[in-house]
Every structure is written in C-alpha cells, then in structure tokens.
Amino acid sequence: MNKKVDWLLVLSIILLSVFGLIMIYSASYIWSEYKFNSPYKFVRNQAIFFIIGLIIMFFISKVSYTYYYKYSKQILMLCIILLILVLIPGIGTVRNGSRSWFGIGSFGIQPSEFTKLGLIIFTSKYVTTHKKLLPAMLMTLFVFAIIMLQPDFGTGTIIVMTIFGILFINGMKMSLIIKLGLVGISGVVGLILVAPYRLSRILSFLNPWSDPLGSGFQIIQSLYAIGPGGLFGLGLGNSIQKHFYLPEPQTDFIFSIISEEFGFVGILIVACLFIILIYSGIRIALQTTDKFAKNMAFGITFGVAFQALLNLMVVVGLIPVTGVTLPFLSYGGSSLLITMTSMGILLNISRYTR
C-alpha cells in the first residue's frame, strides 16, 4: 500500500467546497433573511455538513475499498430498501414536489444520493466478475424506475449515465451504443409525435424569451445574472439577481451568481478547479491496477463530472432545465456528504496506485 496522499485532489476538493460555502452565503443571505430572519441559516447548515463531510472523507480514505467489494450486494440492498421506504408517506417527506427526503429536523437526507454510490459499487464489482453487462443494465433501470416514482428525474439521469459510463469502459460495443442511441431518439420522437407541444417546450431553452414568464423564466433570470457579470464581475456580495429575481439562487443556479459576482475570470477559475479534480480522479482510475478499484474510481469521478456538466449546461442555456445541483458548490447537505464520502473512497484507491 502506497502511503502517499493525492494532495492535488484534496486541494481541489477543499478549494471548491470552501468557495462553495462563501458563495452559498453570498447567494442565500437575502433569501435566508427573508424566510428565516437570519442571513446565516443556509451557510451554517452547509458548514456543518462540510465539516462532517471532511471527517467522513478522512475516515473513509483509511478504510480499504476491498470491504465494498465484499459487501457490494448488501450495500445496494440497503440503498434500495431506503429508496422504497422514502416513497411511503409519513416516512419520506415531500420537497419541491418530490418525495425523496428523510427529514431530520431542518436537515434532509436523500437516499437516491446514497443509491448512486451503492450502484457504482455494485456495478463495479459485477462487471469485474461477470462478462455480460445486460443484468447490470437491468438493475440500473430498476433503480431508475424506483427513483422516478419520487419523482427525481435529475438524480435518476445522473445514476443511469454514471453506470452507463462504467459499462462503456468495460467494453460495451459501439454497435450497442448506437442502437441504444437510436432507441432513445425514436423514443423522444415518439413522445413528440404523440404530443407536439413537447417540442416547443424542449426547444424553449433555445429562445427563452418566447415564454419569459413560463419555461423561459429561470433561464432568463440566469442570463440576467451571468451577462452583467462581464469580464470581472460585480464583486463578491454585489449580485443583484439574488435579490429575489433568481429563485433559490443558492442551489441549482449558484453558478449564475458566481458569474455575476466574479465575471468570466471567476468562471475560468471554477472550471479549472473542476478540471483538476476530474483529471485527478481519472488519473487514479488509470493508475490503479485493480479492476474493481478502477471501475469504482472512474464511476465516482465520471458521476461528479457528468453532474457538474449537466448543471453548467442548464445554467448557461445549452440544454433545458433539469434541476440538477452543482457538486461542492450548490447548497445541499446529503449531496455534499455523499460526494465527500465518494472522494474518501477515491483517496483510498489512490493509495494503491502504482
């Protein structure tokens, strides 16, 4: 076992998280003051989760990843049980229209976030021990179906795409990819043919001003934050869009507020931090010789990368709004906890690299 710590990864994690804390405060204090009479409500919660997350990351990085290999099925079973439990009214609570939370006081925990990690572990082991990929794919679809009962399309999509990424590096045939792609496209075309209004709904992100108070509202408000930021931004704390123009600016659209306050220069720095983190993760996956660890390291990294890209593309108006948070930066306790846990696993794997 190699004792060296991947400091570049640790540094990018801490920089992103601390910057996230600052931006959550800047973006949320108006809302927080308005809703809870305290400007620190959101940032205090996030700070607590960040500290817990750091401790968990530290411990997990000491725990050998081979345990997950051993207990992969049990971990997934536990996750699926939690996913089913959360659907039961009285146990799971509804937030923003989805029954996807276990509420503990003002804190909330999303089992779908845990499931993401559970499914990465399960799939990584499955493709290491089996040749056929189809059962893993079916299990993924099963989990996706349960999550869609909440419904939480964003998390579901990230899970499916993350597992798809693992399957892809495990030799999924190009012909199968093309076939799946065709199935997907024909499915979308079919949905549009059945109800043509969906097309304009999907395409509204291209011209949000066609429906400025409906489907285009969030994206317009996001552009009104990003645009005036210009090259150097309005300065920390000076965003105007956070004054109730952009709804809940500390979550999905925190990137817009970063753009407004730090401008294009700030965006370049944030993008660089993410690229360093993703590069470090992929490097660990490349350098480890254990196939299970390789799959897991890649799955974790790809999951974070995909979620980040999905969020950024929504915020800048490249794709329709999907409701996905930005890892490390958006407000959200359980999301941060599970991301930090994943990072702990990643750090543990890095100790076994060549």
Partner 1 sequence: MFISRMNERMRLVLVIILFVFVIITLKVFYIQVISYDKLNNYAKDLWSRNLPLEANRGIIYDRNGVTLAGNITTTSLVLIPNQIKDKEQTAKLLANILKVDYNDMLGHVMKKTSIERVHPEGRRLSNDIADKINNLKLSGVYLVKEAKRNYPYDTFLANTLGFVGIDNQGLSGLELIYDKYLTGSYGAIKYFSDAKGQRLKLSQIYEQPQAGMNMSLTIDFKIQEALERELNNAIDMYSPEGAWGIVMNPNTGEILAMASCPTFSPTNYQKYSLEQINRNLPIWMTYEPGSTFKIISLSAALEENLIDLDKDHFTDTGSVKVAGATIHCWKHGGHGTQTYLEVVENSCNTGFVNIGFKLGKDKLFKYIKDFGFGKKTGIELSGEEDGILFDTDKIGELETATTAFGQGVSVTALQQITAVSAAINGGILYKPYIVKSINDPETNQIILQNKPTKVRSVISNATSKKVRYALESVVARGTGHNAYIADYRVGGKTGTAQKVKDGKYMVGNYITSFIGFLPADDPEVVIYIAVDNAKGVTQYGGTVAAPLARNVMLSIIDALDIEKRTNEIPKEFVYLDPNYIKVANVVGLTLKDAKKKLKGFNIKSFGNGKVMYQSPPAGIKINEGDTVRLYLQ
Residues that bind partner 1 (CB under 8 A): 30, 165, 168-171, 223-231, 238, 240-241, 243-245, 259, 263-264, 267-268, 271, 274-275, 278-279, 282, 285-286, 289, 291, 294, 298, 302, 305, 309, 312-313, 316-318
77 vs 275, which CB is nearer to partner 1?
A: 275
Q: Do 170 and 163 form a contact (C-beta atoms < 8 A)? A: no
Rg (C-alpha) for the chain, rounded Å, is: 20
The conformation of residue 100, written as its DSSP 8-state character, comes to E
Q: How far is the CB of 309 from partner 1 (least distance, A)?
A: 5
33 vs 97, which CB is nearer to partner 1?
A: 33
92 vs 266, which CB is nearer to partner 1?
A: 266
- Other CB atoms closer than 10 Å to residue 135's CB: what's the count? 11
194 vs 231, which CB is nearer to partner 1?
A: 231
Tell me the DSSP string of 152-202. Answer: -HHHHHHHHHHHHHHHHHTT--HHHHHHHHHHHHHHHHHHHHH-THHHHHH
Q: How far is the CB of 244 from partner 1 (least distance, A)?
A: 4
First CA to last CA distance, the chain = 9
Q: How much helix, strand and coil, in percent to the nearest 5, is found in the chain?
A: 70, 5, 25
80 vs 293, which CB is nearer to partner 1?
A: 293
120 vs 278, which CB is nearer to partner 1?
A: 278
- Other CB atoms closer than 10 Å to residue 152's CB: what's the count? 22
Strands 107-109 and 92-95: unpaired
Which secondary structure element, helix H or strand E, spans residue 120, and what is its range?
helix 111-129
Q: How far is the CB of 238 from partner 1 (least distance, A)?
A: 7
* Residue where the block lists tokens 């536990």: 78
Quote the Cα angle for 182-188-190, to 5°. 100
Q: Do 276 and 15 form a contact (C-beta atoms < 8 A)? A: no
Q: How far is the CB of 316 from partner 1 (least distance, A)?
A: 5
Q: How far is the CB of 184 from partner 1 (least distance, A)?
A: 17
Q: Do 265 and 231 form a contact (C-beta atoms < 8 A)? A: yes
Q: How far is the CB of 330 from partner 1 (least distance, A)?
A: 16
288 vs 335, which CB is nearer to partner 1?
A: 288
108 vs 228, which CB is nearer to partner 1?
A: 228
71 vs 224, which CB is nearer to partner 1?
A: 224
Q: How far is the CB of 300 from partner 1 (least distance, A)?
A: 13
Tell me the DSSP string of 39-95. Answer: TTHHHHHHHHHHHHHHHHHHHHHHS-THHHHHHHHHHHHHHHHHHHHHTSBTTEEEE
Q: How far is the CB of 233 from partner 1 (least distance, A)?
A: 9
Q: Give the integer Cα–Cα distance in Å for 231 and 220.
A: 19
Q: How far is the CB of 119 from partner 1 (least distance, A)?
A: 18
